[in-house]
Structure formats: C-alpha cells, structure tokens
Amino acid sequence: MNRKSFDIIVVGAGVGGYTAALKAAARGKSVALVEARLVGGTCLNVGCIPTKALLESSRALRTLRKASELGIEAGKVEARPEAMVKRSQSVVGVLRKGVEDLLARSGIEILKGSARLTAPNLVRVVSEEASLECEAGSIILATGSSWIDLPGIEIDEERIITSDHALGLGRIDGDMLVVGGGAVGCEFAEIYSALGSSITIVEMLEQLVPGEDTELARRLEAALKRKGIGVLTRTRVAGIDRTGERLTVRLDGADSIETDRVRLGVGRKPNTEGLGLEDIGLELEGNAIKVDSGMRTNIPGIFAVGDVTGKFMLAHVALAQGIVAGQNASGMDSVMEYEAVPRCVYSDPELAAVGLTESRARELGVDVSVHKVRLGQIGRALTMGETFGLAKVVYESGSGKVLGFHALGPHASELLAEVTLAIRSGLSVKDIAGTIHPHPTLSEIIWECADGALGDIARAT
C-alpha cells in the first residue's frame, strides 16, 4: 500500500473542511484534503447555493407577476424550470471552481476517496483506483451530515424525494407535500409554489421554523398562506401509501392527504459511520463527535468541525469552526464562540435572527425587555412596496445590553451582521442608537428598534 505523510489531513471538503485546510496551509503546514465526492460539500453543491439561486428565480417570477403594483406592465410572464436549474448549476460550478483553484494555489493536495481512521495519526483513503495510507500530526474531521430517514418510508427519487432531488425541478405541476417546516422546507415551498405546485407544509412541532420567535413564525405562516401554501403544525407523518399514480400520506393530528409528491426533510444526522471512530476510541455525544471550544476531540491531535459536531448545522458555523480547528491544528489556541450565531430562512419575506428569543431569555432567568417596529414604518420598505414584516430587539432591562434581534421582511438576512457584532461585543441599544444609519435603507429598522428601546429604558427609570 502506498504511504504519504502530511502535517495535517482534513477529511471532508465542505465549507468547514476546506476552510480548515486553507487556514492550516496559510500557516505553512503541509495539508491533504480528502473528499469522496465534490469539493464544496452539501452547502455549495446541493444546499445553500443552488437553493438560493432557485429562490432568486422564483422571487423574480413573483415580482414580475405583481409588477403592475409598481406601475409596470410586464406582459406575459412564464417560468422556464430547465433554465432556472441550468443557471443554479452554473452558479455552483463557478463557486466550486473558485474553491478548487484556491486550494491548488495554497498547495493543498486533494485526495479523492473515502477515509477511515486506522490509528489516531493514520487515515486510509480508498478509491476505485487505489488505497493510500496517510500519516499526519493532526487530523480534522469534517464529514458533514445527511438527511434523516423516516421509518418505513422509502425514497424513490421521483415521487418521494429529499431536497437534493427537488433541486432538479423535475415536476412542477400537481400537488406536493413538504414534510418539515424548518428553513429548507419553507424555502422549497416558496420555489415550487411560485412555479405552480399546490403545496402543503407539515410540521410536527407547534410552529414553523421551530425555536425561532413565535410571533414572527406565525407572521411567516400567514405570509405563506396568502400565497396559497397550506400549513399544518402539530402534525406528524405516520406513513405513506402508494395508490396508483398518487400518494396517500397518513397523518397523526390531521386527516390523510392525497398528493402527487412528498418532499422529506425532517432534519439531518452527523456522518460518523464508516470512519473507524469506535476503533480508535474517539468519543461521541449522541451520534455527533464531541468537541471542546477549540474543536478538539478527546484524542490529542484529532479535531472535528461542521455538522458532524452536531452544534449548529449551518454553513457559516462550519466555516467559523474550520478557522478555529485549522489554527489550533497549526499550533494556535483559538476558541469557538456560539453566543451570536445568525440564523436565516430565505423565504419571502425572509426570517432572520441572532441571539436569544424573548422566551429563551426568560427561561434562562434574564430580566429582558423587547421593542418592536413594524416594517411599514420604514421609508425604504414603502418605496419597495414591501410592508409586511416586523423587527424586534431583545435586550437586558436596565442596562440595555443587546441579547437578540429578530426580523421578518425583505432581505432580513442582510440586517444581521450589525447586530451579531453588537451581541458579540457586548454592546447596548444605546450604542446602536448612537450609530448613524444610511437613509433610506432597510437597516434603519435596527436603529428604530434600538432608539425605541432606549426611550423605553428612559421612561422606566
């Protein structure tokens, strides 16, 4: 068997993995990056990027259909799903090529194949062509996650599909039941609804986007229903029966529904199987790899980042973890922080949040206050013709320290960076209110929330 040696081996070339590899290479380390499939992982190839490209197409479609509200007659508007998919894949290709070029320029060796740890410092890489034994001073595991299967339900990639298959827009007519009302479920409901599918979202918990602000989640549900998208919460899929060309979905909490297709997406699980982790004694937490704040596992020299750690299954968290792991594997002592993690749902309107919700803060025993501002009060929103929305700041009563920010509206995800920095830096609503915001912009809703909170504090003292 052939053998190679590196300072660091990274297993998995998703966002967390390639970021860790780049950070280590930047510090002069020899790095190998092992990937069985495509560089870029789930996010770039079948997740964030292609989905958002399709969402932009569906958003443009909806905008053209209501162009008359802006004084424009657009004529006949027709969607071309094949062209939408082609464009989304073109975007993916450009970005993937960019990452591959960056890795090459950084001197990182890409090893194609599946990896298995045979010792704390050894990785066996197996491909169709060969088997390679690689030795390293440090190993970073970034193997990502995969969709959770529902017991007794077989995915056939045609009528019962995951979001990976839905990216192809193979069939846009008829009915679709979307199982799972999280971010991905809401986003695919938007895409297929805009193209003409009759959509129903089924969510087993009490609200869409579970864990987010309840008021904003309910407003998002109302926005989806206004587009004709059905929403069933507190409802669980009990089974799916094939009846000819149709599917009958049996539900706990509601009557059965007949549909043409079902898109499954009830969450993801860390990819830890087949890595040989149990053979080397690496500790798991549930089905995820247990790590400390420096992304270190219980075995010296082995780190883990991204979805496989089970922390936050978000690409930007994987990137941040990759930075920490890449630096620490290179001799630094960086620390990962989770206090201010942005969370986005790219629906229409978008739902975006960072920090604590009001209910979560109260559960933690924090004395909090909230100030809300309606989107219709913002000049830029009025000029856009987008007034359905709301923002709220959650802050510590008395001190005004910012603890959370939640927004529903157009481009709400673009509002989070400022408040994320404020929370991470321990700033108060006074700091935000004292910062000049450009006018007219949607970002003024952040200022309005902070200024209003400042007034609330003054009146309370």
User: For the chain, what are the domain ranges?
Assistant: 2-147+270-328, 160-266, 343-460
Out of 316, 406, 411, 439, which one is annotated catalytic?
439
Q: Determine if the pTM surpasses 0.75.
A: yes
CATH topology of domain 160-266: FAD/NAD(P)-binding domain (3.50.50)
SS3 456: helix
SS3 204: coil
pLDDT digits (tens, 9 = 90+) for 201-210: 999 999 999 9
Do the first three CATH levels of 2-147+270-328 and 160-266 match, i.e. the same topology?
yes
- 437 an active-site residue? no
Q: Lowest-confidence range among 152-161, 174-183, 331-340, 412-421? A: 152-161
Q: Is the pLDDT of residue 121 over 80?
A: yes
Rounded Cα–Cα distance for residues 235 and 232 (Å) = 6
pLDDT digits (tens, 9 = 90+) for 211-229: 999 999 999 999 999 999 9
Q: Is the pLDDT of residue 162 over 80?
A: yes
Rounded Cα–Cα distance for residues 6 and 435 (Å) = 48
Please, how many CA atoms are within 13 Å of residue 80, restricted to the half-sphere of its CB?
6
**How high is the pLDDT of residue 1?**
64
Mean pLDDT, all residues of the chain: 96
Q: Is the pLDDT of residue 359 over 80?
A: yes
**How high is the pLDDT of residue 149?**
87
Does domain 343-460 sit in CATH 3.30.390.30? yes
Q: Is the pLDDT of residue 128 over 90?
A: no
Instruction: State the virtual CA torsion across 14, 16, 19, 25 in degrees, nearest 10.
Output: -100
SS3 258: strand
Instruction: State the virtual CA torsion across 311, 316, 321, 322 in degrees, nearest 10.
Output: 140
Q: Which two tokens stand for residue 179?
A: 């199982």
CATH-assigned architecture of domain 2-147+270-328: 3-Layer(bba) Sandwich (3.50)
- Tell me 155's DSSP state: -
